[in-house]
Structure 1
Amino acid sequence: MANSVSIPADEQTMAQLWARFRADDEKAFDQLVEARYRVLFNYATRFTKDRDLIKDCIQDLFLELWNRRKAIVDTPYVTIYLIKALRNNLLRKLRRERDWALAVKEDPENDIYHIDELTAEVTWIAGETQLSTEQNLREAVSHLPKRQQEVVFLKFYEGLSNDDIAQVMDVEKQTVANFLYRAMTQLRNSLPIRLFS
């Protein structure tokens, strides 16, 4: 599968920084953090509104990477590696918090997996359309199943290929295609104005 993944131009630079970071280059590590922090933060907002938790997870991720730099594998897909690692860490923390919250208070309304409104993909998909159309699209995307929302975010906001998304989500490429197909079909059927050709 890795042979068919297209590597973005800056990903080659990221791979060089990654190799230098693994060889104890602190400056390269700082450049990695700076280059991918915003991407990771934006991705994490798909899972939780808790900005402090997101910042903590990203900080923990980079701290863990620095501490384990000698054991970390070399990869030409640094962004995918980082997104996947953050996703795993974030979901683990969210599960722990959910379990703790449920143990303290039985509250069915306490949904820590709430997905923020998907504004980035709305902007990408809707383009120059009027605000009312954007609102309709945002509402429609928010009604998609969570896995479909995640695929839409990765595809249209992050610009990842289906192969890249499959690696991030630990699913087959065909599963990604199925999620996208179902999401687009549901969006086409639920929107009052036809945005898709």
Structure 2
Amino acid sequence: MWERFQKGDTNAFEQIFQEHWNMLMHYACSILHDDAMAKDVLQNFFLELWEKREALPVPQEIKAFLLFLLRLRILNALRKEDIRSKHEHSFAQLLQEHTSNSTDQLYYKQMYEELMQHLNELPPRIRQVFYMSRFEYQSVAEIAAALGASEQTVRNQLNTANKRLKVMLKGSIASFLL
């Protein structure tokens, strides 16, 4: 079924959607505690899944793979909503609770290694700005102050890093992080 979905078969996509929607919705609601936000995240998740279908690997277990990708989407949604600090502890706990699955551990390890490999290919200053933003959770203002640069320069460097990493990670599981 996954191979048919990747080739653009809308019936296969609909079947994946129908089989997994309720479970994924329940999962998203249990983390976000906001049904409307969970529904938005999940709808965007399925839209992005369709758009990136050809670049996704064939998973061993569709359910585990969808949960893994949804976790990344939830983290991004929390970050974009700028409520990370409120939910950071919950998400860290979630990762700790749910990474005992060896399939999840393999996905996380693969994603992390691939991201770090490509991150190391960026110019040093852009890599530093990206690292401070995404791994140390510093704001643009904090990064600018620490590096003695303007906020606009930091924004430009983050934008450059994101664009380059998206190109480098095209077709990768790690592209769901950006």
TM-score for the superposition, normalised by structure 2? 0.51
After superposition, the Cα gap between the structure-2 partners of 1:49 and 1:113, relative to the gap in structure 1 and judged at 3 Å, is: farther
Q: How large is the RMSD of aligned CA atoms in angstroms?
A: 2.9
Code of the aligned partner of 2:33: K
For 1:167 and 1:34, the matched residues in 2 are separated by: 26
The counterpart of 2:102, out of the listed 147, 163, 174, is 163
Structure 1 residue 151, shift from structure 2 partner: 5.0
The counterpart of 1:90, out of the listed 74, 79, 83, is 74
Code of the aligned partner of 1:57: V
For 2:93 and 2:89, the matched residues in 1 are separated by: 14
Secondary structure of 1:98's aligned partner: coil
Code of the aligned partner of 1:111: K
Which runs of no fewer than 5 residues in structure 2 stay unpaired? 111-178
Match of 2:86 in 1: 111
For 1:95 and 1:150, the matched residues in 2 are separated by: 16
Runs of 4+, deviation exceeding 4 Å: 112-115, 146-152
TM-score for the superposition, normalised by structure 1? 0.47
For 2:29 and 2:88, the matched residues in 1 are separated by: 10
1:36/1:79 contact within 8 Å kept = yes
The structure with the greater share of residues assigned to helix is 2
Secondary structure of 1:70's aligned partner: helix
Match of 2:113 in 1: none
Match of 2:29 in 1: 45
Which runs of no fewer than 5 residues in structure 1 stay unpaired? 1-16, 103-109, 116-145, 156-160, 173-197
For 1:164 and 1:72, the matched residues in 2 are separated by: 16
